[in-house]
Chain A
Amino acid sequence: MRKALAAVLLAGLLLIGFKAVGPIPPLGPLLDPANGVWAQAAATTFPTLQQVSMPGLSKKVQVVFDDRGVPHVFADNEQDAYRALGYIEARDRLFQMEAQTRATAGRLTEWAGPKLLDSDRSNRELGLVWAAEKKFASYDKNSIGYRAIEAYAGGVNSYISQMRPRDMPVEYRLLNAVPMQWKPVYSLYFLSRMSLNLGFNDATVRRLKAQSMVGKAAADALFPVNSPIQQPIQPLSTSEPRFDFAVVPAPASPDSSVLAEARAREALSTTLAFRKPTETADAIGSNNWAVSPKRAAAGHALLAGDPHLDLSLPSVWYEMHIVVSGKLDVAGVGFPGVPGVVIGFNRDVAWTFTNTGSDVNDYYEETVDKDVNPSMYKLDGQWKPLEQRIEEYKDAKGVVIATDTIRFTHRGPMRRQLGHWLSMRWTVYDKSHEPDNFLNLGFAKNSTEWLADMADYVVPTQNGLVADRSGNIAIRSSGKYPIRPGDGRGDVIRDGSTTASDWIGQLSVDKYPFSMNPAQGFLASANQQPVDPKVNPAYLGSDWYSPWRAMHINALLRADSAVTPDDMRKFQTDPGSSRAEVFVPFFLHAAASIDSAGKSDGELRTAADLLRNWDRRYVRDNRRAILFEAAMTELATRTWDELRDKKKTPSASDRQNYPEAQIMVELMREPTSEWWDDHSTVQRENRDDILSASLRAAYVKLLREVGDPAGDKWLWSNTRRANIYHLLRIPAFSALEVPVQGGPSTLSPSSGSGTQGPSWRMVVELGPEVRAWAIYPGGQSGAPSSARYTDRLSKWTNGILDPVLFPHNAAELERTRVKSTLTLVPR
């Protein structure tokens, strides 16, 4: 009996030791205290002094890690510096680098099996890998970018080959996987992925859907090419916004002819869209601004960078300082997987970016030889062969689980949507060399040199802001802007059977939105329309974000003529909102008007009193912002009811189909417009009826759902929180429900799901010695158990920045602030 028990037990133990059982990985290697997760936890603490020999190095490289976990890399040449960077980024972020690469390449099934097949298919159909491989093949082998990504890959692979079992990141153990070798082209994969996140603009979907419901004239007014409120990046002659309101045509008969097109585009964009289904534009966005010496307290140029991206643990950024003797001295953040600093500063210049959001992708309806498995497409009356790429999807064991053929026209990848073969043209597919652009920024001696380096930058289009020690500030929306034939707009599906539909060129750099040292003494961008169309009518995109954040930054900067770095820091989390400043008076006026007409009641009066007492600031302990936001939701639901499927109950995702809030402001000028009528009631409402009804309904709803307005459930901190998920969305490795300051359209907007936000905050003062302060949510280490995994989170939450160490050499670093030193020597 005892032996039988031992036999069964041993078999069971060996089984769970060697084999994964359901989601539980093999427990033997996982729990092994010498080589498993416990040892890995110990291995996240690096030795104080360590020397590693590395193939490919030409000279010794010293890497000093400061007490913020930032590596200061001291090398004799750039290749050695980037090889070292590859090694240390792999040591800190290996799993993240591979996860990003697999997501872009559509190779997640090799980790997780068929459940991710649809996601992999979508990614491969985008042609990001196809484009990255083309770019890599044509890359100038002597360019700084090519040499850097080659050296970087060598460093990553050096680390992988030297890894001990205990160094294996916990995620690999949970997935029962091992790291793959790093190829240089993977750096380009990542940049392609960023282009998808930032350079894919499909505003047309919402306009076409609206057109199918309310006709073309109304749809064009609701989703216009140009913003009715102009506060552009290229400053106006006055720094005040320009209001360019027009009459919004009344809703007309549905135009069913475009419904199929809308659905086709929606089907395409569903898997690609930057915005998540419940996110609205007022919940996302990046900011940057710079101040001239004449408006800075210390008389030095100041620059603030605040790019907002999907928040994740580990962070999308990795902070570094790279010194190449006598050549390069640059600090800031870059993307793990891509060598070098993307946003940062050197001894003379500081720079940062926000997304321009221009329209750089178009669709073409192609004529093909066969509806199923086509091999040719028609162009100018002739059949042309389709480039075909066979895509195999494998599971964790390497077994092929699916095979697809991706077809390409000369424009880009083609796929079938609702009975149409649509090909996509996108600047991501064009030849470019973004690594060169980013790496060369570190060498710039002044703003002019910096701008010159960005002149041939392609994608994603970025509002690049730069300031230098000579006191110059400049901004330019850089990137490739295609010129289309005909009316030049990119928000239609064009006929693919003729080259006459193709792009006919690109804007020259001198036509890019641009400003340098403006009279107002500051520059700012926040994803708004970059240039007033009265100044430059070139089509850059449509359906721009409402410029609330831009208006607020401009207002803050106008009001402060002696700006300090600490002011810049405080602005980044300023809880004020131009959107609230604009809309609250409308609500209060409507409530008063209804009251004076004798149609009010106690609930509306109480709601108006509560809103009147709000200081229009989204701080965590505020109890009134929740009422305003609920009223804004009610207002949109009631006003834009024509844009909703009447058969469905209103939901949060409907907001995706509603116009920008700036269109609502435009509509406010027409108090009796047909748009104000709520079709669910028998009477005909006007503007004030809807505003007051929305406010009242919001109050009643909150009273019912969250109780007494004096209670803690009305606190803003209970409403908006950041949710920073681990890349595998494992809650135990994530930072969830983090209360943050800010609300929709504040400079630090918090989104509905809390998964977007400030990914890196930086302030730089360009004085005789450059000084910088910065933070990002998370920490330098990608190991969830490491003390450096979330060590910056608390400061980020509270809007605090760390002073950035920027020593000229290793000896200049205070010994008390040095945590470890890694010396890499040639093998």
Chain B
Amino acid sequence: MINMRPVVKFLLLAELFAVTTFGLGWWSVPLVAAVWGLVSRSKRKAMFAALAALGGWTTLFLLDVARGPVATMGSQLGGVMNLPAFGLYAFTLIFPALLAWCAATLVPSVRSSGA
């Protein structure tokens, strides 16, 4: 029997990343990840946070794609920044993952060194 608990945890965390990004902004990603790093006992909590942040932002991004001309914006913005549109899409999704991974990696170690 498949253990659904990690899946539910992942979905909830991804949802949390999406909701706080929507309500507070992009900078909520490292904050949520830091809290996750503090409360989680998993050995792979940093990677878990990174994937959940990736999932949360991917959901938001796909909603944008469904609602409007994201591809046009991508190619135009890529033109402004001299980047391929694909590079911008990729960075958009990697950016929260890296933020979450860094925050979830650092915060527990700061706490343990403080203790």
Contact = CB atoms under 8 A, between A and B. Distances in A.
A272 interface: no
A31 B26 contact: yes
Interface stretch (A93-101, A145-153, A320-328, A726-734): A726-734
B94 to A, nearest CB: 10
Nearest to A732: B79
Interface residues of B, number: 39
A38 B30 contact: no
Contacts of B92: 31, 33, 38
B69 A785 contact: yes
Nearest to A10: B102
Interface string A12-51: 0110011000001001110111111111111111000000
Contact of A38 (B25, B73, B98, B105): B73
B73 A40 contact: yes
Given A9-B102, A34-B22, A170 B57 contact: no
Nearest to B33: A10
Interface in B4-56: 18, 21-22, 25-27, 30, 46
Contacts, number: 120
A43 B64 CA distance: 9
B73 A13 contact: no
A401 interface: no
Given A32-B25, A33-B57, A33-B92, A42 B67 contact: yes
Nearest to B80: A732
Main SS of chain A's interface residues? Answer: helix
Contacts of A27: 91, 95
A730 B82 CA distance: 12
A41 B21 CA distance: 17
B91 A31 contact: yes
Contacts of B26: 17, 28-29, 31-32, 35-36
Contacts of B73: 37-38, 40-41, 170, 784-785
B50 to A, nearest CB: 11
Contact of A785 (B30, B57, B72, B106): B72
Given A9-B98, A33-B21, A43 B57 contact: no
Contacts of B57: 33
Interface in B72-106: 72-73, 75-81, 88, 91-92, 95, 98-99, 101-103, 105-106
A656 B61 CA distance: 52
B21 A34 contact: yes
A34 B60 contact: yes
B16 to A, nearest CB: 13
Interface string A164-183: 01000010001000000000
A45 B76 CA distance: 17
A35 B22 contact: yes
Contacts of A731: 79
Contact of B68 (A36, A43, A733, A784): A43
Given A17-B27, A33-B57, A3 B105 contact: yes
Nearest to B113: A3
A40 B76 CA distance: 13
A216 B20 CA distance: 76
A41 B69 contact: yes
A44 B68 contact: yes
Given A34-B18, A45-B68, A785 B76 contact: yes
B109 A3 contact: yes
A791 to B, nearest CB: 12
A2 interface: yes
Contacts of A42: 63-64, 67-68, 70
A527 to B, nearest CB: 36
B95 A3 contact: no
20 contacts: A3-B109, A14-B30, A14-B99, A17-B27, A28-B95, A31-B92, A34-B60, A37-B77, A38-B61, A42-B70, A44-B69, A45-B69, A174-B80, A730-B80, A732-B77, A732-B79, A733-B79, A785-B68, A785-B72, A787-B69
Interface of B: 18, 21-22, 25-27, 30, 46, 57, 60-61, 63-65, 67-70, 72-73, 75-81, 88, 91-92, 95, 98-99, 101-103, 105-106, 109
Interface of A: 2-3, 6-7, 9-10, 13-14, 17-18, 24, 27-29, 31-45, 165, 170, 174, 730-733, 784-787
